[in-house]
Structure 1
Amino acid sequence: MRTGRRVGGAFCITHAVLRAPGDSARFGFIVSKAVGNAVTRNLIRRRMKGIVDRHIARGITGVDVVFRALPRAADASYGDLEAELDRAIARVERELTPAVPA
């Protein structure tokens, strides 16, 4: 988390590090007790995993991403959380992927 790119948001902080091109993407989730009780934390983690599964199915590669949920994530709707994670992943891909010369 000390290197790479950091993307802040209302519901989570996203940390990403570039890996070798072609390596499969890896995702991690940090949901602390500050977010809520065990039921709430697991709900948030399952929602995040569901959103990330779609990106894996689309073929995202070459990056390690860690999402750290903030306490406001407990009150977020699935759509709001999805929009934020999609925005963070798109920004990470845009900023970390090397530009292809024309």
Structure 2
Amino acid sequence: MLPAPSRLTGSDNFRLVTRKGRRAGRPRLVVHAITAEEVARFRAGAAGADRVDPALAESDAVPRIGFVVSKAVGNSVVRHRVARRLRHVLRDRLGTVRPGCTLVVRALPPAASAASADLGSDIDAALRRLRLSRDDSDTGGAK
């Protein structure tokens, strides 16, 4: 289980991250991400921005993570299993994600038959591609 402050809730917050954020696709999942600076810019000038959680715009806030596992992944038993695996994988990586980032992890159908290690490697690769790990922020995002 993710700690309560790290859980992304509310359809407006999910919509903001998936539509305005950046994304990195992997074979078993897609990671959508938005930083606190991007949220602050959105809240400053967009209509409907008042429905977005203002805590997402705090650059020193803990990372927030939400999950989307659709019926395309499988029946309810399979979907819940995938969601539990993703929560477990990301709980272990919370300390490596830069503060102020908000993520939405969308599972794809191949995630149903994937091992937790495979999901973890996809998450790591997506975070590296989006330059959201703390290691990337220390070097200014340069490789």
| TM-score interval, normalised by the smaller of the two chains | 0.7 to 0.9
Correspondences of 1:48-59 after superposition (within 5 Å): 48-58=86-96
Kindly indicate whether structure 1 or structure 2 has the higher relative contact order, using CA contacts under 8 Å at least 6 residues apart.
1
**Structure 1 vs Structure 2 CA RMSD:** 2.2
- In the other structure, the counterpart of 2:45 is none
Q: Is there any run of 5+ residues in structure 2 with no aligned partner, and where?
A: 1-17, 37-57
Look at both structures and tell me which one has the larger radius of gyration over its CA atoms: 2
**TM-score, normalization by structure 1:** 0.85
* Partner SS for 1:33: coil
2:61 is equivalent to residue 23 of structure 1: yes
Which has a greater percent of strand?
1
Which has a greater percent of helix?
2
Quote how far apart the aligned CAs of 1:59 are.
Answer: 6.2
Q: Which one of 73, 87, 95 corresponds to residue 125 of structure 2?
A: 87
2:16 is equivalent to residue 13 of structure 1: no
Q: Is there any run of 5+ residues in structure 1 with no aligned partner, and where?
A: none
- Once the two structures are superposed, residues 77-100 of structure 1 have per-residue CA deviations (whole angstroms, 9 ceiling, x without a partner) of 111111101211233216x95938
Cα distance in structure 1, aligned partners of 2:83 and 2:24: 18
**TM-score, normalization by structure 2:** 0.62
How many residues end up aligned between the 2 structures?
Answer: 99
